[in-house]
A and B are shown apart, each in its own frame.
Chain A
Amino acid sequence: MVTKEYRTVKEIIGPLMLIEGVEGITYGELTDIRLDDGTMRRGRVLEVHKDKAVVQVFEGTSGLAPQGVTVKFLGKGVELGVSGDILGRVFDGFGRPIDDGPPIIPEKWLNINGNPMNPYSRDYPNEFIQTGISTIDLLNPLVRGQKLPFFSGSGLPHSRMAAQVARQARVLKTGEKFAVIFATMGITFEEAEFFINDFRRTGALERAVLFINLADDPAIERIAVPRMALTVAEFLAYEKDMHVLVILTDLTNYCEALREISAARKEVPGRRGYPGYLYTDLSTIYERAGRIKGKMGSITQLPVLTMPEDDKTHPIPDLTGYITEGQIILSRSLHAQGIYPPVDVLPSLSRLKDKGIGVGKTREDHANVMNQLYAAYARGKNAKELAVVLGESALSEIDLLYVKFADAFEDRFIRQGEDENRSIEDSLRIGWELLGLLPKSELKRVRPEFIEKYYPENK
């Protein structure tokens, strides 16, 4: 296709440019924007009306003057060159290498928007991934092909947790190829350094691909980052048979970039100024997790987002929860008590848990123990609240036991070391030790034969 160059920028509004007098331009087209000082930026056509095109500038429009730019339309969408050699490499948010490695020689170029997976071709995720974290493995199990976000808050240790998962995650089978893709949107230099060093320290970098957009990098570039990451993920999963874990952090910054564009286009805002299509837009990211019938690989997503004011009903966590298959919620109060990882067990949920656990996958008693621990902790926490109102003396003997259970549960089950990699057996063992604090008759959610087999007798 012929490429077309114009010097007819008429308006610059926020991250957008309006170019007039264009011809043969199509929606979604990639553009090169050359400033007169020779520097280059990238853009994408958001709307084209007769001879006018609205272009979103990934690097932002700061410093641009309408008279001083040449816009070249490239006649194709935003693409990323991928290859098997991409493992171990670090890129900026637009897919340009920022490590000292050689340029990537692409095996193929892929449009970063991908295509929607045919629901008929999906395979149901059901393979248990052991993360080594008890609150995930035993209570909110993650399976291959799932999208399970961390709902966190500012200042909470979600990065450390995500790094721990990336380090420890494995399937209870060996010999399979796997990769980690790590994409950041607007996080701080320090946080990013933490991840990179962690990957380097543990040798994980060799099987990782990093896309780094930092807090002081262009905001609009964040629109492209997760799509870059997922394009590589799809390539590795479905063409190189790898099991890919994609960590995206922080989706809150992504949504803010989207809001910025929407505002510049003067669109009718939905809640809190976010565009009405935020749900659909997020789904084009999250729904790229999954498995395909007849393919070896898989894409598991671990998006991280910080809830503004720890508010779960804020549009970002809310719409995410409507798309993902559960959520791991981090608790500020557990964090304040010095408990790591501060997983708020009760409102956390893995919706695909039922298919990934049990005989042949984890252990026969897994589901029962999960339900019992959950119920007992809920009751213990209730009893504690009651004690606050009415005083400990108002609690029955059995409720006092539950209070003791809840405390022990937080201290021994939820709490674990950052380098402590618990097998599912370990987690179950600790679970049973805690259930041992309660009389057998209280364990209504566990089948008698499992109580017989696993209940700790000599305590």
Chain B
Amino acid sequence: MSTNNKGEVVKVSGPLVVARGLAGARMYEMVRVGEAKLFGEIIEIRGDEYSIQVYEETEGIGPGQPVFRTGEALSVELGPGLIRSIYDGVQRPLDKIAAQYGEYIVRGAESPSLDRSMIWKFEPVAKIGDHVTAGDILGTVRETKLVVHKILVPNGVEGTVKKISSVEGNVDTVIAVIETDKGPRELTMVQRWPVRQPRPVAKKLPPLEPLTTGQRVLDMFFPMTKGGTACVPGPFGSGKTVVQHQLAKWANANIVVYVGCGERGNEMTDVLMEFPELKDPESGEPLMERTVLIANTSNMPVAAREASVFTGITIAEYFRDMGYSVALMADSTSRWAEAMREMSGRLEEMPGEEGYPAYLGTRIASFYERSGNVICMGSDKRNGTLSLIGAVSPPGGDFSEPVVQATLRVVKVFWGLDDKLAFARHFPAINWLTSYSLYQEVVDKYANDHYNPKWSEVRRRAMAILQREAELEELVRLVGMDALPADDRLLMQAAKMIREDFLHQNAFDELDTYTSMVKQFHLLSTILHYYDEVRPALQKGVPLSKLLTLPVLEEISKAKLIPENKLEQFDELRNKVSEQVKALLA
């Protein structure tokens, strides 16, 4: 087979370029298009015609211009320096690009993904003479206050450590030499990985531990796990981005990869300005110290948007392979799907539902399949997790559309946002009647063991009250509240308290923005305690109106602001409830 390193453009239609004469080029190989050398990737081959999606604006490209092969699939650079970075969809460092090229992203802008001017200190873990295989830890680099970066033996490398020592230098510094079958191999702190190919793991396990988020409605009622998958669909303005930001801030993951995929520029700015200021609740260090950002905003080239999700997940897998718990948020997977649709349309593929390509479902499924609780590659059998949370932006807020439906077929947690709740300024606007988590059982067990033995019972009872409220509400609409029997009115009161004093959580309030699991339990059980006290009192003849206006209710409504280090106040509060009810009985 003859191969060619250079071909020629024959067609340009927006981000799609068709070239000829690239014999030997493979699917998903990277190419450089035109005199401007724009980045592109081969996404279809028909005879001698190679369809290329181009990651930059194609104005000025035309037939006859050259196309250069690179021989490599679209890949990311992995190594120290990833944390605190902000990349575009094809891992160009936006801060460096801004410094070099100015405020606008111009075509052909280029800068290495990992900063070569950063000096790292490598501390060996493996010793000379050790036999090492892919995934084994060669040594560590302290990347940020929160992250110890583990340098792993790259995939496909196996042998005996011939040389290794403590060194300082940039990522290209040789840190070890491995004697392999094919001779000595020098290893540096950086490796590359093709983004469309999942990084291998030794074994997949079912998720076992909760990924706590500090968001009461999520952790208590619709919990997520480390290694699990979740989606956040909702119409515009219902709070998807705020939920994703809250997770990026407060989830108990070691590493957070946040992918802004086809959304607003200002939202990325918001993260960039806020995260260095916010402190991780456990370590007290700035949240930015564990965060990688991928920003391919809506106005940036659409093909790079398609790639951004893969770039993000490959970086996330890399940290998972070190044995960390990693959480990736993608806002929004609908924009990613739309990018696929646009490329598919330009390729003149047979459209499936609503113009989306027929393989939409498969692509979405294979994205979420890259999550998991895993035994990593490497002989120490360490455990790593990768949790995926995707926002979905259905047109008109209609959940029956293809992207929501394809997503629901694969994810285990559904946080359905509701614009009615958002209009009523009930945030987070997660509909507690339609949302679900298939990890409920796993998390119940964990929570009963770790937080409080009554966790699952409290949760179940509270949810039952909310569901009963929904039924009664129908009735209230017909006959009015006053016509309800007294015990139902108590239930309505308890439900209202659960909604307003527990579920409602202001993301922008310094105290309310995060609630620990233990505090969540206290808060909810205090509300239930009220309900448990007033019901018998009603039976014993205490007037309903007195029970509905118990002075302590005022305090319960502010209990969400009780500081995390003063949780004993909840005991006092519960006592107060009992006392006030007792006083009415006397």
Contact = CB atoms under 8 A, between A and B. Distances in A.
A283 B298 contact: yes
A125 B266 CA distance: 8
Interface of B: 10-14, 18, 57-65, 86, 94-95, 97-98, 102-106, 235-237, 260, 262, 264-266, 268-270, 272-273, 295, 297-302, 335, 338, 341-342, 345, 351, 354-355, 393, 395-398, 423-425, 477, 480, 482, 508
Contact of A346 (B355, B423, B480): B423
Given A346-B423, A390-B480, A290 B298 contact: no
A120 B351 contact: no
Kindly list the 5 A-B residue pairs having the minimum CB-CB distance in the complex, ordered from nearest.
A28-B59, A26-B62, A313-B396, A283-B298, A115-B104
Contact of A49 (B11, B237, B262, B299): B11
8 contacts: A27-B62, A47-B12, A119-B269, A238-B103, A270-B354, A280-B299, A280-B302, A318-B235
A53 to B, nearest CB: 9
B12 A27 contact: yes
Interface in A189-240: 238
A292 B105 CA distance: 13
Contact of B425 (A46, A77, A283, A375): A375
A279 B403 CA distance: 15
Given A119-B295, A122-B266, A378-B424, A326 B98 contact: no
A374 B396 contact: no
A322 B477 contact: no
Contacts of B65: 26
Contacts of B262: 279-280, 283
Nearest to B554: A444
A228 B265 CA distance: 21
A371 B345 CA distance: 45
Interface string A313-328: 1110011011101110
Contacts of A125: 266
Contact of B105 (A111, A116, A295): A116
A11 to B, nearest CB: 17
A2 interface: no
B358 to A, nearest CB: 12
Contacts of B335: 279
A290 B299 CA distance: 13
Contact of B345 (A119, A268, A323): A268
Contacts of A352: 266
Contacts of A290: 265-266
A279 B265 CA distance: 15
Contacts of B98: 118, 120-121
Nearest to A313: B396
Given A24-B62, A47-B13, A50-B63, A120 B355 contact: no
Contacts of B345: 267-268, 276
A25 B62 contact: yes
A374 B422 CA distance: 13
A118 B355 contact: no
Interface string A143-182: 0010000000000000000000000000000000000000
Contacts of A124: 266, 269-270, 273
Interface in A47-62: 47-51
A111 B65 CA distance: 22
A147 to B, nearest CB: 9
Interface residues of A, number: 72
B268 to A, nearest CB: 4
A271 B265 contact: no
Interface in A97-134: 111, 113-125
B295 A77 contact: no
Contacts of B302: 277, 280
A119 B268 contact: yes
| Residue of A77, A116, A276 with most chain B CB atoms under a 10 A cut-off | A116
A313 B104 contact: no
Nearest to B339: A280
Nearest to B265: A119
Contacts of B14: 27, 47
Given A114-B104, A119-B86, A119-B94, A47 B300 contact: no
A84 interface: no
B60 A118 contact: no
Contacts of A293: 103
Given A24-B64, A49-B63, A318-B236, 6 more contacts: A27-B61, A47-B14, A113-B59, A117-B265, A119-B268, A349-B237
B97 A118 contact: yes
A354 interface: yes
Nearest to A315: B395
B278 to A, nearest CB: 15
A384 to B, nearest CB: 14
Nearest to A120: B94
A343 B505 CA distance: 28
A63 to B, nearest CB: 28
A371 B16 CA distance: 48
A26 B60 contact: yes
A284 interface: yes
Nearest to A285: B299
A122 B12 contact: no
Contacts of A277: 302, 338, 342
A326 B237 contact: yes
Contact of B10 (A24, A50, A269, A287): A50
B63 A51 contact: yes
A394 to B, nearest CB: 5
Interface in A344-361: 346-347, 349, 351-352, 354
Interface in A277-324: 277, 279-280, 283-284, 287-288, 290, 292-293, 295, 313-315, 318-319, 321-323
A84 B98 CA distance: 26
A389 interface: yes
A458 B397 CA distance: 47
Interface string A241-274: 0000000000000000000000000011111000
Interface in A1-45: 23-29
Contact of A28 (B60, B64, B94): B60
| Residue of B58, B266, B480, B508 with most chain A CB atoms under a 10 A cut-off | B266
A374 B106 CA distance: 44
Contacts of B396: 271, 313-315, 318
A375 B425 CA distance: 8
A120 B12 contact: no
B264 A268 contact: no
Contacts of B105: 115-118
Contacts of A267: 345
A77 B97 CA distance: 24
Contacts of B297: 116, 119, 283, 287
A283 B273 contact: no
Contact of A276 (B58, B272, B273, B338): B338
| Residue of B102, B342, B397 with most chain A CB atoms under a 10 A cut-off | B342
Given A48-B12, A313-B398, A322-B393, A287 B62 contact: no
A120 B63 contact: no
A29 B63 CA distance: 13
Contact of B59 (A26, A238, A276, A319): A26
B321 to A, nearest CB: 28
Interface in A371-403: 371, 374-375, 378, 386, 389-390, 394
B265 A122 contact: yes
Contacts of A319: 395
Nearest to B557: A444
A271 B354 contact: yes
A113 B57 contact: yes
Contacts of A287: 264-265, 297-299
A442 to B, nearest CB: 13
A125 B299 CA distance: 18
A93 to B, nearest CB: 21
Given A119-B86, A351-B237, A25 B11 contact: no
Nearest to B354: A270
A393 to B, nearest CB: 10
